Each structure stands twice: as C-alpha cells, then as structure tokens.
Chain A
Amino acid sequence: MRAKYKIIFFLPVALLILAVLKFFLPTPNLNDSYRDYCWIKKTHSTEQFNVLAVGDSRIYKAVNPEFLIDENSNLNAVNLGYSSVGYSAEYLSFVSGRIKEDHKSVVLCGITPYSFTPEALKNEHYHSFFDMDKKEVYKMLLLSGYLKNFPRYSPAEVWGYFTDAPITHLYYHDFKENGWVKSFKLPFDSTAGLIPYRKNFIDNTCNNNAVEEYMSWVKEMSHNNVAIIGFRPPSTLAMEQLEDSLSGFNYSSFIEGFEQNGGVWLKFSLNDYSSYDGSHLHYESANKFTKNLATKIERYFK
C-alpha cells in the first residue's frame, strides 16, 4: 500500500478498533481525567450552596449530597471534603465563601481528631488543586465533557472482563460532580486503616490553637444564621479507640466548646454502618448514613 493511503487510513482504522473495543468493554473502574475534573470543579467553582458537607476523606466518601436535600426543593448541596483535610483558617475561609448567603444554610462538619493536627493543617490535597496553574484549571473545566468519553483502562481490568475471572483486589472509586466519592474496596478489611493511622499520629497530635480558631469560626457562622452541625464520621470502634488514645484530641471538651459557640452536635451509632478499611464507609453505608443525616437536618429548612 502506498504511503499516501496509509496516511489517509491510519486514523479511521484506529477509530474503528476503538469503537469496537468501546462497544465490548464496560466503563472502567476509575476515570481519572474525570476524577481530576471533579476535584478542580470542587475547588475552583464559585457556586454557593445551602448545604455543605466539609471534612476529610471520611466525609467525601460518606456524605452523598444527592440524599441531603429534597430533589423538589430549591435547595442545593455539595460535598467539599478533601483527603486529610485540616480545619485551617484557609480551608474555613474557602468553605465560608461557598455558603449561600440569602438562605438559611447548613454546614455539616465531619470532625476527626486528625483534622486538627499540624500535618492535616497543611491541607496538601486541597492545595494540589487550589495552587494549580490557571491554564490547567481552565483546560480541565472546558474539556470535561470530552474527557468523560475517554477513560483509561487497566490491563488487569480488561483481562477480568474477557476472562470473567473473579475480582479479588479492587479499590473502586466513582467520582461525582457533587463532591461525593462512591467507593469500596476488595478484599474487605476493617483493620486495614489502623496501621497508617497509628503512624499518622507519631509526632503529630492535636493542635489546640487550630481548635480555638475553628471554634471562633463556628461562633461567627452561627451569628450569621448559618447552622453548623458537627459529628464524628462513623468508622469502626477500633479506629475510634486508636484515635482517642493517640491523637491528644478530647471529644467531650470539643463538643462542649462547639455547642457553647452555637454548633449542634449529632451522634451516630457505629453499628448501623460498615467500613471497608476501618476508616471509610462502603457506598451503601454512605447512602444510608446520608439519609439519616438528612432526616436530622430537615428542621433547618422548614
């Protein structure tokens, strides 16, 4: 075949192969271009919300904004959680900027001891998106529609599709535009998170100044008619015991200060939910948890 015909045909042949493969292959486990888009949108959007869930990965995996509000209402909700988030003045200011001012608003704060440690207060995950080059941000927001159609596949996944081999190892993430991350992990191991968390608190315990700053923010928001709802995101009993013993964070005195400053504290039973790694909720539990949370905050919108 002559070179000029090859130049004409190589792209159509590639597109044909791609179309055939796309027909046979299901959507892959992780569309990371779309993942990045979701994080960038969460960070750089200026849209304001009535209900905002804030906190670390336990929050962005546990609170599904879809179930927080009645779909027929005029309200809107978002999950502004980031991995290992710390309640620094910067993060709190970011949250404040996203609260809808002309309505009664609710901020749901997932309080984990790690969120007040010096390492968390660096907010590295949040900064990785906040500090991004403006060109990258613009490009990602502009191209999101196209990126959805070109997910990356992993050879292991493709192998699994064609061989029907039982999946024994999988860390599933499905990123949603509302900030929630639907997730689960195989094999299920409710103790997996304990070792990393034990390491997390070495030379890195609760910073009392950060707690005080957070309390001032709660007071300010409450004065501005924003309902601040606090709760400990459900994980496992072993995880809670580990955090309580190593973090230097005292929940009783925190809750006392939180309520004195106008916050409302909610308690959830650990027995109602299941965590796939001892830290994060399986997506089914996350939906159940969100529905319970929604019931408890209903009164704020009446």
Chain B
Amino acid sequence: MVFNSLEFLLFGLLFFLLWPLFKKKDNPRWLYLVTASFLFYGWWDWRFLFLIIGSGLIDYFSGLWIEKFPKVRKQFLLLSLAGNLGTLSIFKYSTFFAITLDSLFLKLGVQTNLVANIPEFALILPVGISFYTFQSLSYTIDIYRDRLKPTRNILHFFSYLSMFPQLVAGPIVRAKDFLKQLAKVPTVNSIQVWNGIKLIVYGLFQKVVIADNLSSFIDSAFSGSKHYDGPSYWWFVMVAFAFQIYCDFSGYSLIARGLAKTMGYHFKMNFNHPYLSSSLKEFWGRWHISLSTWFKDYVYIPLGGGRKGVYLGMLFLWITMLLSGLWHGANITFIIWGAVHALFLTLERFYSKVKFFNKIPKGLLILITFIQASIAWVFFRAESFDQSIIVLKSMFTFQSSDFKFLTTYFDAMIFLGTAIVIELVILLKRTKTSVQLVYKRYNLDLLFISIAIVTIIMFRGEGKQFIYFQF
C-alpha cells in the first residue's frame, strides 16, 4: 500500500482512530504496531512477510545470543550478516551477479547460462528489502559493538523493524535511537500534530504534484518516444530528473516523519534541501542522510575513515561510494553513479584546499554542485551504460539548441519551475530573518498547507509508485 493511495488513506484513518486505545501499554502497543505494519507490507504481497519475519528472527536471536554467549559473539554476528546480506544477494543481486559471471566466463571461452538457472522466486524483488535489511543489520552490529542492549521482547523488536511509516523506503532508523522511543508511552501535543500534518501534506505535495508531473517528460526522453535532442533539451531533462527523484524520495521521507510525529515518535531528518549545498561533501550530508550516515558508521569509519592517511582515506571513500551505488540497484549504471560521485568528491578534496576556490561566491558553488549531481544522475536514470554516454554527449555537444520541447512540455516546465522556486524561498527563509518574521506573524503555514492540499487535489500527477521502492 502506497502513501498516495486511497487504501492508505483508509488504513491511516483507522490506525489513528484506534491508536489511543492501544498506545498506553507496551505489549498491546507493540502488537498493534506490528499487526498494522504487517498489514501495510502484506498488502503488496503477503508472501513478502515471510522474508521480513525470517530476516527479523535471525537478527532478534543473534542479538540475544551475542550478549548471552560472549565467547562466540563473532559467530552470531556473522550469522546475522550472512542472513541479511544473503537474502539481499538472492533477491536483489542474483540476476546481476549471474549476468556478470556469464559474460566473464564467456570472455574466458567458457559458455555458462547461470541466468537461466536462477530459481523463479529469486526474480521477485520484495519492496523495501534494502531498507529493512540495513535497519536490521545495524541492530546486531550495534549490539556486537556494545553500543546497544538487545531487547528481549520480540514485539518490541518487530515494532522497530517493521514500523510502517518507514518500512519500505526509509528513513533507515537506528535501533539505539528508536527502541528507546518505542519503549515509552508516546505523548503528543497539538504542536507536534500540526507539525506532523505539515510534513505529511508537504511530502504529498512533493510526490504527487512535483515528482509525478515531471515523470512523463523524463520517461519520454529516456524511452526515446519523442524526437527532441540537443544540449538544452537534455539539460532540462536532467534538471527535471534531479527534482523528480528528490521530490519523490524526500516526499516519502516527509510523509513517514509526519506520520511518526503524529503518533508521538521522532524520525531524524532524511533530506535537508540537498540542492542548496555548496559542495558535494555537504550534499552527502543533506541527501538521504539516514543512508549516508549508515554507510559512514558501518563501512567508511570501520574501514579506517580518514584516520589512515589521505590516500587510504580516498580508497575508503571510493569503496563506500561504490557500495552505495550497488545498494541502489543491481546494475552497472548505479555503480558508475557511485564512482562519479567518488571522483567528484576526490577532486573536491584537492581543490577545496586551493585559495582561489574559497573565494568563489556561494551561489556559484551551489550551481556547480548541482551541475555535478545532475551529471551523476545521468547514470542513475539511464537504462544502460550506452544510453548514459549518448545522453552525456548530447549534454556537452555545442550545437544550436531547439527549444520546441518547452511548448510540448509546458506543464512539466511549470512544475519544474515551482520546485526550483520553493527551494529558493526556503533558502530565503533560512537566511533572511524578515522573511521568517512575516511567515510567523501572518500564520502563512496555515495558508500554505491549505493551498498545498488544493494543489494536490487539482494538479496531482498520474499516480506513480515511489521510485525508491525498487531499491
């Protein structure tokens, strides 16, 4: 069940109607959360539930045994890692690995057909598997590192693992933050509810109005169904995609945070206006923050981080970015997307030390960072590596531009313009105290939220599934 659906509206209304009856006592509260979350997840396909329950049980017991049997704690951590990463490999990466191995063997003169031998069940990608696998992994790793005490109550554990607002597309919450919250009776006041409503409405606006309305412009460009070409066209397509993926994913995160807030819980911010970053390093501190910090805490820092010198630090950065690319999808294009970011980050480390670059105006730095991110998005969105190269060549071909597509896609341009203006207004609101004062004095949030609801009803795009579900 997706947030932008009628089913979810009914589910949400029913959930919040009954929530006050269950929330006061631990076991009924957790049982209610787990039941609702399983219903939410099983709505896609009830068979997916076996996977999350299986993977959760491995981690629940691994956590207990790591604490109970300290001498063999490493083995139980390995069991958890094997269980989670094994499941992820089978369901998400088996086809990719089989194709890669087949082509590798073919180069060595051996004909294999591993792809044909993949069991049928492994060809289905359960929704949100990458998200809950990483969430579950952080639980056992933190117990192993003595940063967290395992919970003995299985309902408590599963309400952490499967909580429906963030189950299928994050934010990836950490057990050490969230188990504590779940253990308390959630209290919520009217300010929190209002803030929750604002997050939900703005998240829906980002998804339904901006992302969904940009999708036909971008999809037609990458499917080749429209015969436009040239640098201006492809730059518009990539800028539109940058905002589509941002609004799609950030929209989901905002709705998740809003729902949690309305229940009395707090999820950390997952997107902090990444396109207002003045460097790529800053961008990664603002984009999909829960995943970036996960990779930082469980991959980059354990490898050595920046402590082992400049060059090893670079190597660890590259490993982390390539893994991050692979996390997003089982395709070489995602790995290259990670590599392009690693390359830009490497260059940034060097040129940020040059005095000249420190004198560049912030606005220009924001633009440069956005251009870098947009170039990398080409690999993320393209259907294949070859298509990425064709698109990049078109973007950097110096030829006269035909702007006829602006008429054809007038509506998409309006929505793209709206997304850009909103980001600029947010920049103004953050930097200009006078704008903040006007906003508060005239209760503009009430007006903006009401207008956002009207816009969602009148200008909603064609209902699309959230892009990040496939990851």
Residues of A within 8 A of B (CB): 1-4, 6-7, 9-11, 13-14, 17-18, 21, 32, 135, 139, 143, 150, 152-156, 169
Contacts and interface: CB of A to CB of B under 8 A. Distances in A.
B435 interface: no
A40 B449 CA distance: 34
Contacts, number: 69
Contact of A9 (B193, B414, B446, B459): B446
B197 A2 contact: no
Nearest to B460: A152
Given A14-B454, A152-B459, A155-B459, A139 B194 contact: no
Contacts of A4: 190, 194
B347 interface: no
Given A6-B449, A143-B6, A152-B459, 18 more contacts: A3-B194, A3-B195, A9-B446, A10-B197, A10-B446, A10-B453, A11-B450, A13-B447, A18-B453, A18-B457, A139-B7, A152-B458, A152-B461, A153-B458, A155-B459, A156-B410, A156-B411, A156-B414
Interface residues on B, range: 20 to 34
Given A152-B459, A153-B458, A7 B407 contact: no
Contact of B453 (A14, A139, A154): A14
Interface centre among A10, A135, A156 (most CB of B within 10 A): A10
27 contacts: A1-B446, A6-B194, A6-B443, A6-B446, A7-B190, A7-B193, A7-B194, A9-B446, A10-B197, A14-B449, A14-B450, A14-B451, A18-B453, A18-B454, A18-B457, A18-B458, A32-B462, A139-B6, A143-B6, A150-B457, A152-B458, A153-B459, A154-B411, A155-B411, A155-B459, A156-B411, A156-B414
A11 B446 contact: no
A286 B315 CA distance: 68
Interface of B: 6-7, 189-191, 193-195, 197, 407-408, 410-411, 414-415, 443, 445-447, 449-451, 453-454, 457-462
Name the prevailing secondary structure of the A interface residues. helix
The 7 tightest CB contacts between A and B, nearest first, are: A14-B453, A3-B194, A13-B450, A14-B450, A4-B190, A155-B414, A3-B190
Contacts of A143: 6
A9 B454 CA distance: 14
A17 B7 CA distance: 26
A3 B193 contact: yes
Interface centre among A135, A143, A155, A169 (most CB of B within 10 A): A155
Nearest to B407: A169
Contacts of B189: 3
A10 B453 CA distance: 9
B29 to A, nearest CB: 23
Nearest to B194: A3
B443 A1 contact: yes
Contacts of B190: 2-4, 7
Contacts of A10: 197, 446, 449-450, 453
